[in-house]
Amino acid sequence: MTSQADLVALDQSDPLAPKREEFSIPEGLIYLDGNSLGALPKAVAQHLERVVEEQWGRDLITSWNKHGWIDLSARVGGKIARLIGADPDEVIAADSTSINLFKVLLAALKLRPERRVIVSDIDNFPTDLYIAQGVNQLLGQSHELRLVKKEQVEAALDEHTAVLMLTEVDYRSGWRYDMAALTRLAQAKGALVIWDLAHSAGAFPVRLNACNADFAVGCGYKYLNGGPGAPAFLFVARRHQGAALPFLTGWMGHRAPFDFDPYYAPAEGVHRMKVGTPPVLSLSALDKALDVFADVDMNEVRRKSLRLTDLFIERMEPLCRRYGFELITPLEHERRGSQVAYAHPEGYAIMQALIASGVIGDFRAPNILRFGFTPLYVRYRDVAEAVERLEQVMSQELWKAERFRERAKVT
C-alpha cells in the first residue's frame, strides 16, 4: 500500500509537477474529468484576449494574412501531429470529431468501392456509430454496419470489410485497443482503418504512422485542453492524400479559394479536408493550449498516467469490497487508457454526491462512474484525496440525498 509519505515523495519527484502551474485549477477542487473537458491553460485566457482585441478588433479583416488565420487549421494540425505520431502535413484542425469522421469514412469507403462492410465496436462512442449510420443511409443502405463486441472485432474482419472504424480507448471502460495489431489485421484483409483518438491524443504517445494507420480523427477539448467544443482534428496518411476526397467540398478545401471559381477542385493533400471558414476564436484557444505540450515528453506523460491510475485502483480496492464498486478498466497496462471506471447500480447519485464534495468525475449511462487522470495537472495526492472523499460519500450515505437523484440535462 502506498503510504502518505510515498505520495508526498511521488509528487515531489514528479518531473511533470511544474506543468500544473500552467493550468487554472480552482482551489480545493480535484478535477478528474479532463477526459470530458480539459482544464484551462492560463496562457489561453491572455492569448484569447489579444486575439479578440488586437486581431479581430484592431486589425479586422487584415488578420487573415497579418495574423495567419488562413493557415491556422494547418498550423494547429501540425502541433497535434507531434502528439499522435504523424507528420505535420498529415493533420488539420477543423470542424467537430463527428464531421471529420464523416469526411474520412466517406473518403475511405470510396477507396474500397467493391467492399460493403463497415466493422466497428458496438460500444464505440455513439456519435461514431451515428455517423456511420448516416453515411450508410446516404449511400442507400448499400453497406452493412457490422457492430460487434471488442473481443469479436478480429473475427468480424474478412475480405468484404471496407473499413474498420474504432475508438482506440473506450469512453466508458478506458479499455485500449492494440492499434498496431488491429491495423495490421484489418489491412491484411484488405480493409482500411480509421482510428478515433478522442481519448488518446494528449493522454499518451500515439504512433499513427508507426502503426501504419490510414485515417484518424480526434477531439480538441479533452486531453488537448483546447476549450469547450474546441475544433477537432483529422489525419490522412500521406499515401492516401492523392486519392482521398472529402465530398464535404467547401471553399477552404478548394485548390485556390480566392480565385472564386464556380467549379470545385481539391486542394493538395490533407488541406482538401477543410470545408468552411474555421471558428478562429475557438481554434486560437486550441492553438495556444497546445503550447503546453511543447516541452513535454509524452513517454513521461504515459509513465505518470499509469502510476496515477494504478494508485487509484489500489486505493479503491477496499471500497470495491465494502460498497460494491466493480472495476471495469483493465488492470493490464497495455490495455488501459488514462482513465479508470467502475460500475455501480447507484452510480448517478454517487457521482453527484462526490461532485458536491469537490471531486469532479463523470457518470456514463447506464451505471458507470468515470475518472479521468490528466498527468499534466493531476497530482498523486489528488488521487488519494479523491478516494477518501468517495469513502465519506459512501460511509455517510451522502449520495442518498434527494437532490443527487435528479438527472441534469448533461450527465
* 125 in catalytic set: yes
CB of 366 to its own copies, least distance (A): 8
**DSSP 8-state class, residue 272:** G
Does the annotation list 128 as a binding residue? yes
Nearer CB in complex with its own copies: 250/269: 250
Least separation, in Å, of the C-beta of 120 and its own copies? Answer: 9
192-196 and 161-167 as β-strands: parallel, antiparallel, unpaired? parallel
Q: Is 62 helix (H, G, I), strand (E, B) or coil?
A: helix
Q: Is residue 309 a known part of a binding site?
A: no
Give the whole-angstrom CA distance, residue 146 versus residue 57.
50
What is the CB-side half-sphere exposure of residue 234 using CA atoms within 13 A?
Answer: 29
Catalytic residue among 221, 373, 380, 404: 221
Least distance in angstroms from the C-beta of 279 to its own copies: 4
- The response to whether 127 counts as a known ligand-binding position is yes
Residues with Cβ within 8 Å of 369's Cβ and at least 6 positions away in sequence, in order, are 325, 341, 342, 343, 344, 347, 350, 351, 354, 361, 362, 363
Q: Reply yes or no on whether 196 is catalytic.
A: yes
Q: Give least dist CB 314 to its own copies, A.
A: 26
Taking the least distance from each CB to its own copies, the nearer of 7 and 194 is 194
Active site residue 221: yes
160: annotated binding-site residue?
no
Give all strands of the β-sheet with 362-364 in edge-to-edge order.
Answer: 326-327, 339-343, 368-372, 362-364
Q: Identify any residues that bridge with 336 across adjacent strands, giving them in sequence order.
A: 175
Give which of 308, 389, 385 is closest to 4, Cα–Cα. Answer: 385
Whether 102 is catalytic is no
Answer whether 77's CB lies under 8 Å from 270's CB: yes
HSE-CB of 170 using CA atoms within 13 angstroms: 23
Helix or strand holding residue 18 (H, E): none
User: Looking only at Cα atoms, what is the longest distance across the chain?
Assistant: 69
Active-site residue, from 102, 125, 233, 348:
125
Question: Nearest approach, Cβ of 374 to its own copies (angstroms)?
Answer: 12
Determine whether the annotation assigns residue 266 to a binding site: no
Which is catalytic among the residues 14, 121, 196, 287?
196
Nearer to its own copies, 258 or 294 (CB): 258
Does 125 carry a binding-site annotation?
A: yes
Is 370 among the residues known to form the active site?
Answer: yes
Active site members: 125, 196, 221-222, 370
Q: Which residues are annotated as a binding site for pyridoxal 5'-phosphate?
A: 97-98, 125-128, 167, 196, 199, 221, 251, 277
Q: Which residues are annotated as a binding site?
A: 97-98, 125-128, 167, 196, 199, 221, 251, 277
